[in-house]
Amino acid sequence: MSKVILNYDAAHAFVEKNKDQGFFWDGYTIVKWSPSKNGFMEKSGLFKNNKWGYSTRYDLKLNGTWEISEKYAKLV
């Protein structure tokens, strides 16, 4: 699957712009959270804002960039 590569400034702008889409920071990791009643049963489950959901984590790479899924390219 193709990825969108974000540098430091682009990553911070992306998360700030898309907080309402469920993106937030966990240290240096970009996290995408989507509410779901079944989130408590999954390894990627995350309890946030008094709701269960699924999370997808995009970790910082050794070269100082983040690679996010291409499906979020329109949000960049």
> What domain count does the chain have?
1
Residue 31's domain comprises 3-70
Answer yes or no: is 19 within a domain. yes
Answer yes or no: is 76 within a domain. no
35-76 tens-digit pLDDT: 999 999 999 999 999 999 999 999 999 999 999 999 998 888
For residue 46, the tally of other CB atoms under 10 A from its CB is 20
Q: What is the 3-state secondary structure (H, E, C) of 15-58?
A: HHHCHHHCEEEECCEEEEEEECCCHHHCCCEEEECCEEEEEEEE
Answer yes or no: is 28 within a domain. yes
pLDDT at 1 over 90: no
Residue 40 Cα distances to 20, 23, 67, angstroms: 22, 19, 26
Answer yes or no: is 27 within a domain. yes
pTM of the model: 0.89
Answer yes or no: is 56 within a domain. yes
pLDDT at 7: 97
Question: Interior CA angle at 56 toward 52 and 59, to 5°?
Answer: 135
Answer yes or no: is 11 within a domain. yes
